[in-house]
């Protein structure tokens, strides 16, 4: 078994190497040259990072007491975070409406297949292409970024959600049908609450993903820190680009840590005490009346 | 044929595989019918077809002269309660709320005192009122099984479809639970019947009015336990050697050994 695995991995590696050679046109020397060029580029053009991107802009004049908040780095990063947050929420709302319609265990094929095709169509365009389209339609700025990433989030999150729904145990769904619940009631009262841990985990993951991608869509003018990176690239100010890249890296790491903490609340393995839905949603009077009826 | 539950020519197939083939049987009021058969014989599928969870390929099902296949899902839920083999959930509901779900087909806008009283009555009846406010997802398998049975009782149906309702219960609760199901079905003031898919032949023989032996998706025998649970039929359907005897009026079956394959 192990030998077969090694043979398969070896064969795939050889195939990848052959394809790489084909793509490089057989000129392997380009890799060696590229590496030395990168070292020169990094040491002479990018290093050291220019941290003036964290200093306040000269125009417009900074009116805040915290001068840091008037810097390009802060403004761009906050705009990226705003775009990511809004588009994640909008995308989640769109996805949660469509995904129960796409799940085969909840709907007939006449409904699920067209909705799946719709989600696949939305997902097939990367958020960068969506951003290009929206920049053309509604102009430069963060609104294009929000719409672009919302559309992509609907497609991406929608697929994750309907696959989660399809993977759930059929018992609760059958119990719901035996109670006379409609497909809509089964989705809203059983399937979504039953999978709430997964949905929340996917939502947090999507936010992280959108923060990372929010830096890219700025390149086509859809707002965020990517917009400033593109401008610095155009004027060969690589030290500033490098400083912004470090800033993005730090923010992504911080978000990763926060999401790790947030996910521990919805993780089965987490030892954090979780509030029950009953405590959150039901009034105490309901439990009291239940207790009274038992006496 | 009885006008309580009448099943005609019921068939069900998955793509490429026939599970049930031309089943014809009837169940009278206040009757407890046990469906016996080996794994994959079609016991659960039969229950799911009667309850419309699965759509039969052909045939008809009439409950109290009404066509079940033509009813709305809500009408079916008012008349038929289904208890699956096991229901797990990640949703932290308490036991009272799970049983209250059984009132869903009868609710108008809000949960009333009558609904809560009915839930309380069912919890007391099955002796599970002590953990009414414990979380359902933290109960043992056997406790969950009794909770789901209480939910079915709260539904006040005409027909109970119980899929291995005692499989996770300890010996004492197997007997007491079957006695309680028997007493609910035997209540002449509110006629109801139960069809139970079960593996324990001895329990089935002891509590059932009729036994249905399912074999390869067909009814091999259907009738009172004494007529159906013979040594020959048990050997043919289950491939085991059994001893069948009568003990103070009820049938007792002891499995001796598995028969060797030819």
What are the tens digits of pLDDT across the range B97-138? 889 988 888 887 888 888 899 999 999 998 888 888 888 888
> Which of B166, B261, B204, B210 is CA-nearest to residue B2?
B210
User: B163, B84 in Cβ contact below 8 A?
Assistant: yes
Are B73 and A193 an interchain contact pair (Cβ–Cβ within 8 Å)? no
pLDDT above 90 covers what percent of chain B?
Answer: 37
- The per-residue pLDDT of chain B, averaged, comes to 88
Q: Is the pLDDT of residue A69 over 80?
A: no
Instruction: Tell me how far apart the alpha carbons of residues A287 and B146 are, in angstroms, rounded to a whole number.
Output: 21
Which of B88, B94, B119 is closest, CB to CB, to A278?
Answer: B94
B-contacting residues in A 152-171 (Cβ below 8 Å)? 169, 171
Confidence of residue B31 (pLDDT cuts 50, 70, 90): very high
B119 with A177: Cβ contact below 8 A: no
Determine the residue of chain A that is closest to B101 in CA distance: A179
In this predicted structure, the answer to whether residue B250 has a pLDDT above a threshold of 60 is: yes
Using the Cβ of A182 and the Cβ atoms of chain B, whether some distance falls under 8 Å is answered with yes
Q: Give, in order, the Cα–Cα distances in Å from B143 to each of A5, A178, B146, B203.
A: 46, 21, 5, 20
| A121-134 burial: b if 16+ Cβ within 10 Å, else e | ebbebebbebbbeb
Across chain A, mean pLDDT equals 82
Give the pLDDT confidence of A25-47 residue by residue, as tens digits. Answer: 777 777 777 788 888 878 877 78
Distance from CA of B206 to the nearest CA of A (A): 28
Q: Where are the domains of chain A?
A: 67-268
Residue B142, domain extent: 5-258
For the segment B56-74, the average pLDDT, to the nearest whole number, is 91
CATH class of A67-268: mainly alpha
Query: Which domain CATH number covers B52?
Result: 3.40.50.300
Inter-chain CB proximity A172 and B89 less than 8 Å: yes
Sheet holding B159-163, edge to edge: B80-83, B159-163, B193-197, B32-36, B210-215, B218-223
DSSP annotation string for A175-216 = HHHHTT--HHHHIIIIIHHHTHHHHHHHHHHHHHHHHHHHHH
Query: How much is the average pLDDT of A248-261?
Result: 83
pLDDT greater than 70 at residue A127: yes
Q: What is the dihedral of CA A150, A152, A155, A157, to 10 degrees?
A: -70
Q: Inform me whether the pLDDT recorded for A136 exceeds 80.
A: yes
Give the pLDDT score at A271. 43
For residue B76, the distance in angstroms to the closest alpha carbon of chain A comes to 7
* Banded model confidence at residue B1, pLDDT cuts 50, 70, 90: low
Q: A286 or B253: which carries more pLDDT confidence? A: B253
Number of domains in chain B: 1
What spatial distance separates the first Cα and last Cα of chain B, rounded to whole Å?
39
Give the tens place of pLDDT for each residue, B71-89: 988 889 999 999 887 777 6
Segment among A228-232, A276-280, B37-41, B169-173 with least mean pLDDT: A276-280
Position of tokens 């993005």? A248
What backbone phi and psi angles, to 5 degrees, belong to B18? -85, 125
Taking any CB pair shorter than 8 Å as contact, residues of chain B touching chain A are: 48, 51-53, 72-78, 80-82, 84-94, 96-97, 101-102, 104-105, 113, 116-117, 119-120, 123, 129, 132-133, 135, 148, 155
Does pLDDT of B194 surpass 80? yes
pTM, to two decimals: 0.69
Share of chain A above pLDDT 70, in %: 88
Predicted local confidence at residue A272, as pLDDT: 44
Neighboring chain B residues of A278 at a CB cutoff of 8 Å: 92-94, 97
Decide if pLDDT at A169 tops 90. Answer: no
Residue % of chain B over a pLDDT of 70: 97
In order, the DSSP letters of chain B are --SSEEEEEEEEEETTEEEEEEEEEEE-TT-EEEEE-STTSSHHHHHHHHTTSS--SEEEEEETTEEGGGS-HHHHHHHEEEE-S----SS--BHHHHHHGGGGGG-SSS--HHHHHHHHHHHHHTT-GGGTTSBGGGS-HHHHHHHHHHHHHHT--SEEEEESTTTTS-HHHHHHHHHHHHHHHT-TTS--EEEEE-S-HHHHHHH-SEEEEEETTEEEEEE-HHHH--HHHHHHHH-EEEEEEEETTEEEEEEEEEPPP-
The confidence score (pLDDT) of residue B262 equals 52
| Res. A223 pLDDT band, cuts 50 70 90 | confident
């Amino acid at each position: 078994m192990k030998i077969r695995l090694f043979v398969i991995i070896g064969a795939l590696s050889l195939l990848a190497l052959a394809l790489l050679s084909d793509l490089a046109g057989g000129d392997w020397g380009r890799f060696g040259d590229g590496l030395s060029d990168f070292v020169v580029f990094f040491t002479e053009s990018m290093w050291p990072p220019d941290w003036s991107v964290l200093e306040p802009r000269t125009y417009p004049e900074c009116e805040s007491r915290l001068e840091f908040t008037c810097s390009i780095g802060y403004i761009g990063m906050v705009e990226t975070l705003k775009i990511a947050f809004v588009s994640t929420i909008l995308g989640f709302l769109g996805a949660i409406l469509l995904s129960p319609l796409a799940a085969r265990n909840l709907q007939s094929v006449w409904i699920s297949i067209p909705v799946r095709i719709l989600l696949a169509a939305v997902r097939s365009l990367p958020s960068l292409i969506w951003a290009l389209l929206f920049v053309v339609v509604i102009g430069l700025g963060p609104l294009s970024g929000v719409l672009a990433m919302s559309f992509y989030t609907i497609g991406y999150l929608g697929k994750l959600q309907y696959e989660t729904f399809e993977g759930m145990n059929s018992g609760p769904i059958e119990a719901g049908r035996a109670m006379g619940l409609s497909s809509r009631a089964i989705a809203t009262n059983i399937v979504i609450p039953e999978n709430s841990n997964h949905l929340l985990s996917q939502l947090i993951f999507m936010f992280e993903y959108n923060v990372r991608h929010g830096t890219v869509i700025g390149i086509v003018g859809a707002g965020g820190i990517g917009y400033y990176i593109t401008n610095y690239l155009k004027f060969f100010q690589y030290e500033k680009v490098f400083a912004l890249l470090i800033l993005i890296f730090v923010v992504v790491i911080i978000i990763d840590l926060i999401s790790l903490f947030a996910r521990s609340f919805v993780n089965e393995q987490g030892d954090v005490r979780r509030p029950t839905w009953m405590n959150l949603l039901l009034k105490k009077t309901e439990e009291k009346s239940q207790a009274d009826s038992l006496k | 044929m009885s006008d309580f539950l009448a099943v005609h020519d019921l068939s069900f197939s998955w793509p490429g595989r026939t599970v049930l083939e031309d089943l014809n049987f009837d169940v009278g009021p206040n009757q407890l019918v046990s469906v016996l058969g080996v794994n994959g014989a079609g016991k659960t599928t039969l229950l799911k077809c009667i309850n419309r969870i699965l759509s039969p390929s052909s045939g008809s099902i009439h409950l109290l002269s009404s066509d079940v296949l033509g009813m709305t899902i809500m009408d079916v839920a008012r008349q038929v309660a289904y208890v699956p083999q096991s229901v797990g959930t990640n949703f932290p509901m308490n036991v009272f709320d799970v049983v209250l779900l059984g009132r869903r087909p009868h609710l108008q806008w809000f949960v009333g005192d009558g609904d809560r009283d009915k839930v309380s009555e069912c919890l007391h009846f099955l002796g599970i009122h002590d953990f009414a406010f414990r979380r359902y997802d933290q109960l043992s398998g056997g406790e969950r099984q009794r909770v789901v049975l209480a939910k079915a009782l709260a539904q006040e149906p005409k027909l109970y479809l119980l899929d291995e309702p005692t499989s996770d219960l300890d010996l004492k609760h197997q007997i007491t639970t079957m006695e309680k199901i028997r007493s609910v079905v035997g209540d002449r003031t509110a006629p109801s019947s139960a069809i139970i898919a079960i593996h324990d032949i001895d329990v089935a023989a002891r509590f059932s009015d009729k036994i249905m032996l399912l074999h390869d998706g067909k009814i091999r025998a259907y009738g009172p336990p004494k007529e159906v649970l013979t040594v020959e039929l048990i050997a043919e359907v289950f491939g085991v050697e059994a001893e069948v005897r009568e003990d103070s009026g009820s049938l007792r079956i002891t499995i001796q050994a598995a028969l060797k394959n030819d």
